[in-house]
Amino acid sequence: MSYEVILATYNGERYIRTQVESILAQSIKPSRIIIRDDGSTDKTLSVLQELQKESNIDIKIISDGLNLGYIKNFEKLSEYVEAEFVFFSDQDDIWVESKAETLLAVFTSRSKANVVFSDAYLVDNDLQKLGTLWEHVKFTPESGKIKLEKILLNNVVTGATMAVRKSFLLSVMPFPAKIPHDYWLASNACASGSLIPLDEKLILYRQHANNQIGAKKSSLTDKFKAVFDANKRKKRIAHYREIYDLVHGLDKLQHNANMNDLSKDIFDYLNCVNAIYGGAIFEGETGKSLPSALLSPGYSKYTTKQSFIRDVLDGIIIRMNFHKTI
């Protein structure tokens, strides 16, 4: 089975060689590694060019000097894919030698699979293990079945662990500008019943200060402080906006009764969240007060104990500082 790897880089000189070498060492080799640099100012390109000369596997390097951000970088990379299957790669992880072989076997046995993803070891800069990714995101697949609302409200699919069928990838492009590509791909695959989790740890997923998106543990004190951190609040609001935009995007691509019913429920939930946050999630009249939103069945259907407490505190703080910009 032919596969290619698409790898997005940006100022990754410290770890990029180790990452690429782990891809080149796969038990089933890729037909090509396609790398697009997003305007690095360090020695990333020099390291890549050295690897290109050393490798007997085709390494294509795209360097146009533009900084697109990681979402549009992966979208641009996807346009170059020729193989039947494509693996997404970050610049600072390490692949287990059997990663490609293991994920490809799932596509062989599951003809309807479009996106397959695995668990990962969380490691620090020195590759000391910190736990596992699925433990961190509290994900336990039940008989391989994942509920779409689980993905929509809290994505558990990490792009660096993911392999995608090319035909499916092209069918959901372009990627929405403000929705992480793995979030978009996982949601569409889940909506069509073609998202497959694999309970094996197939990469060392490095956690450090330069991660664009990563899994970092937070202490109880950190979580308490985050409630009063304006920047953290903005991130929570941004996440709710992502959900809002994502469901709108899915509605346009996924035309089925289940999606229609679910999107109505999610929009009802988000309407309550929008009321709690004083209209900061999306424009429009919410028609609900803070108490009525918190007590609404549409809100309680999807909220958790943790998010309920967080939303209550956010709602109160926002109202106490209503004259300030959210």
The percent of residues in the chain predicted with pLDDT above 90, rounded, is 76
Task: Assign 251 a pLDDT band (cuts: 50, 70, 90).
Answer: confident
State the DSSP H helix or E strand holding residue 315, giving kind and residue range, or none if neither: helix 305-320
What are the E-state strand segments in the chain?
Answer: 3-9, 32-37, 58-62, 85-89, 94-95, 115-123, 129-132, 162-165, 195-206
Q: Is the pTM of this model over 0.85?
A: yes
- State the DSSP H helix or E strand holding residue 275, giving kind and residue range, or none if neither: helix 257-276
Please state whether beta strands 162-165 and 85-89 pair in parallel, antiparallel, or not at all (unpaired). antiparallel
Q: Does residue 2 have a pLDDT over 70?
A: yes
- Tokens for 297? 């069945």
pLDDT higher than 80, residue 220:
no
Q: What pLDDT, on the 0 to 100 scale, is given for residue 320? A: 85
Burial (CB < 10 A; 0-12, 13-18, 19+), residue 133, is buried
Q: Across residues 294-304, what is the average pLDDT?
A: 94
* 116-120, 145-149, 188-192, range with the lowest pLDDT: 145-149
| Whole-number average pLDDT of the chain | 90
Q: Is the pLDDT at 217 greater than 60, yes or no?
A: no
Better-scored residue on pLDDT, 231 or 209: 231
> Are 61 and 49 spatial neighbours (Cβ–Cβ below 8 Å)?
yes
Alpha helices (runs of H) in 79-191, residue ranges in sequence order: 99-109, 133-136, 148-153, 166-171, 181-191
Q: What mean pLDDT comes out for the span 14-41?
A: 97
Most confident of 31-35, 64-68, 249-253: 31-35
At residue 224, the pLDDT reads 64
Residue 209 or residue 280, greater confidence: 280
Q: Mean pLDDT check: name the lowest of 66-80, 147-161, 216-230.
A: 216-230
pLDDT at 321 over 80: no
Q: How far apart are CA 66 and CA 54, in angstroms?
A: 26
Residues 12 and 37: their CA atoms lie apart, in Å, by 9
Kindly tell me if the per-residue pLDDT of 209 is higher than 80: no
Q: Poorest-confidence range of 58-62, 77-81, 240-244, 259-263? A: 259-263
- Per-residue confidence (pLDDT) for residue 226, from 0 to 100: 67
As a whole number, mean pLDDT of residues 65-83 equals 96
Find the mean pLDDT for residues 263-279: 93
Contact criterion met (CB below 8 Å) for 95 and 22 = yes
pLDDT value at position 240?
95
d(CA 106, CA 93) in angstroms, rounded, equals 22
Q: Which of 32-41, 51-60, 207-216 has the lowest mean pLDDT?
A: 207-216
% of the chain with per-residue pLDDT over 70 = 91
The arithmetic mean of pLDDT across residues 18-39, rounded, is 98
326 pLDDT more than 80: no
